[in-house]
Amino acid sequence: MRALVIRHDHLSLSGPVGDRIAQLGYEIDELTVVPAERYDRPGVEFDFPDPVGAGYDLIVLLGAPWSVYDRASVGPWIDGELELLRTAHAAELPVLGICFGAQALATALGGSVEAAPRHEIGWSAVESDVPELIGAGPWFQWHFDRFVVPPSAVELARSAVGPQAFRAGRALGVQFHPELDEKTLLQWLDSGGRREARAHGEDPDRLLAETRARHEESRQRAYDLVDAFLEQIAGVGTAAETADDPGRAA
């Protein structure tokens, strides 16, 4: 089994989401769209693979610090990503979109992305219609936009700011960050996140301390989300539930 993980920038890691996918037997190909030297000028040229022709069984799209609709910043590569998502959806390939990835998924399937009425930064619970798939959390959030659920999709969870999860066929989009761990947060904070958090009234040191304190529980929630996505949305199970279940024993 092969999984394609799309990293939009060098600071976004797949964390426990990627760990769980690997534990379940997937060979992971990671592609980074915007290299580190172009982080401040992300309008690069990028050729996305044909997910069907390349033989992928799963696609995971991570977050990004930009907006899907900000063509002046992201430039031409967003069109290639939207086409990849439409191709995957038409071929019924399982897709998990996270934050920016979920917003791109929503856009590709006929929804849209808009500025949220206020930011969400930090750990917070969500209201879920399907707790066996999307737990209440708390989940880590860091976003200023929100997606509008595509007409053919079903909203699964929400917060006071907007939708938090939707399903469209074998695709799942989540606004929050199940992949977030201390390593990723440190990279964000050290690359302008501290300043951004303070500008929006958030304490970056508190965010980091809470992330460290929640390490075990948040990792398990990420594993559970991946398992539930594969079983309930992708319909592929979790590779024998791994007799010793290394994800849960870790």
Dihedral sign for Cα 167, 188, 44, 47, please: negative
For 167, the enclosing helix (H) or strand (E) is strand 163-168
Q: Is 179 considered catalytic here?
A: yes
Q: Is 54 exposed, middle or buried (0-12, 13-18, 19+ CB in 10 A)?
A: exposed
Q: How many angstroms separate the Cα of 130 from the Cα of each of 25, 90, 212, 236?
A: 26, 25, 27, 19
Chain position carrying tokens 């997910």? 51
Q: Is 182 considered catalytic here?
A: no
Judging by DSSP bridges, how do beta strands 139-148 and 163-168 pair with one another?
unpaired
**Of 89, 99, 120, 196, which residue is the catalytic one?**
99
Q: How many angstroms separate the Cα of 60 from the Cα of each of 7, 171, 214, 222?
A: 9, 10, 24, 13
Among 161, 133, 126, residue whose Cα is nearest residue 147: 161
Q: Is 239 exposed, middle or buried (0-12, 13-18, 19+ CB in 10 A)?
A: middle
Q: Is 177 considered catalytic here?
A: yes
**Of 8, 89, 119, 177, which residue is the catalytic one?**
177
Encoding tokens for residue 232? 């309930």
Catalytic site positions: 99, 177, 179
